[in-house]
Amino acid sequence: MEVIISASRLAHDLTADRPPVLLDVRWQLSVPGANGATAFDGRAAYAAGHLPGAVFVDLDEELASAPGERGRHPLPDLAEFGAAMRRAGVSADRPVVVYDGGQGWAAARAWWLLRWTGHPDVRVLDGGLSAWEGPLSTDVPEPAEGDFEPVPRPTGLLDAAGAAALARSGVLLDARAGERYRGDVEPIDRVGGHIPGAVSAPTSENVGPDGRFRPADELTARFAALGVSAGAQVGVYCGSGVSAAHQALALAVAGIPAELYVGSWSEWSADPSRPVAVGPDPQ
């Protein structure tokens, strides 16, 4: 199963009699600064220009539930998620292509949710909107209602206890920047550091300078160097289950299945009773 699609292949597929459903999931992690910088507005970016026929999907409102004890981006209510996908035109028998502004995190979150809840054919536009060379549109489509009904798979999802166990029995990859893994800085959560036993694997190293995924053989070698051997159980987490979905996507490009700890560090670190490791070593 292909999990990413090039811009040229997408342009071709959009000319078919039954083109893929396009979802625009532009989103950025925005931490308010002392200078009063405003948060990124994905809906405004969509309104200014998007792939023709694409429907905007709000990550915070439709791909997550309200922040709280389960983290900053907990799983959405599945009934509400299904309704949002159907409004966007998503059906079980029609391919879906998801894109964002180029970072790939938000698109990967949508990819992971759709795949985990049973959609058989979802791909992410490699390189995001910046890779697209065709025209953009400001028209807002009104797609026909889809029929997708989310049914979660029995595997693929980790909770805090499962992540802690996997860090000891398999390979748990921390997708955040190295300085957050080490605990040098922590701009968002209660405390810096990582889940004991987790291995630092910054998401930024999954892609090349152009923002596109590195070739599958390079990704395979990268994950092997991080301890991912044949048959190993692999889990991923990040700050709130968004960039970790990108890590899961990179692993899928390499042909490696992985489980996602959606609550991630924002859930783990919120409980003072959970252990925290700092420094460059997994511990």
Catalytic residue chosen out of the listed positions 108, 238, 250, 251? 238
Query: For residues 112-143, b (16+ Cβ closer than 10 Å) or e, as one string?
Result: bbbbbbebebbbbbbbbbbbbeeeeeeeeeeb
Do residues 196 and 227 make contact, with C-beta atoms less than 8 angstroms apart? no
Do residues 103 and 114 make contact, with C-beta atoms less than 8 angstroms apart? no
Residues in the chain: 283
Helix runs in the chain, H state only: 7-13, 42-48, 59-62, 78-87, 105-116, 160-169, 178-182, 216-225, 243-253, 264-268
220 among known catalytic residues: no
**Which residue, 219, 220, 194, 216, is CA-closest to 276?**
194
**Which residue, 218, 174, 217, is CA-closest to 193?**
174
DSSP per-residue string spanning 263-282: SHHHHHTTSTTS--B-SSS-
Do residues 177 and 202 make contact, with C-beta atoms less than 8 angstroms apart? yes
- In the sheet with 55-56, reading across from the earlier edge strand, the strands are 4-5, 122-125, 96-99, 21-24, 55-56
Give the residue numbers annotated as catalytic, written as ranges. Answer: 238
